[in-house]
Amino acid sequence: EVQLVESGGDLVKPGGSLRLSCAASGFGFSYAWLSWVRQAPGKGLEWIGLIKSKTDGGTTDYAAPVAGRFAISRDDSTHTLYLQMNSLKTEDAAVYYCVFFGSFGEGYWGQGTLVTVSS
């Protein structure tokens, strides 16, 4: 069974930084392309980026609103995905989900972690 558990959400001031983690189990983590998706309060779903498997180059791809401020990384030895968020803005406040999109496009989601950006 695929399990994804996010952590690290917190209250942070505008301009601050935060790192989220996602502990994964139940699938071939090392071969998986992994994404982060966020959902602002009362709003829809927004994909913010992904990291490919190392066998596929390990490269990252980001949505325009976070490119240059956010960075996704992975530790295949511990089956952990990370999201480093810098220069946070009030509009980055959201629940952040770790998502494994399989080869059929099917998505497996964690429960999410809440990031609040406020002074």
Instruction: Give contact residues for other proteins (rule: CB under 8 A).
Output: 35, 44-47, 50, 61, 63-64, 97, 101, 104-112
Nearest distance from C-beta of residue 91 to other proteins, angstroms = 17
CA distances from 5 to 80, 88, 103 (A): 9, 22, 21
User: Pairing state of beta strands 45-51 and 11-12?
Assistant: unpaired
Nearest distance from C-beta of residue 11 to other proteins, angstroms = 19
CB of 100 within 8 A of CB of 27? yes
Identify which of residues 42 and 77 has a Cβ nearer to other proteins in the complex.
42
Nearest distance from C-beta of residue 56 to other proteins, angstroms = 13
DSSP state of 10: -
Identify which of residues 7 and 14 has a Cβ nearer to other proteins in the complex.
7
Give the C-alpha separation, 33 to 46, whole Å: 17
Identify which of residues 15 and 65 has a Cβ nearer to other proteins in the complex.
65
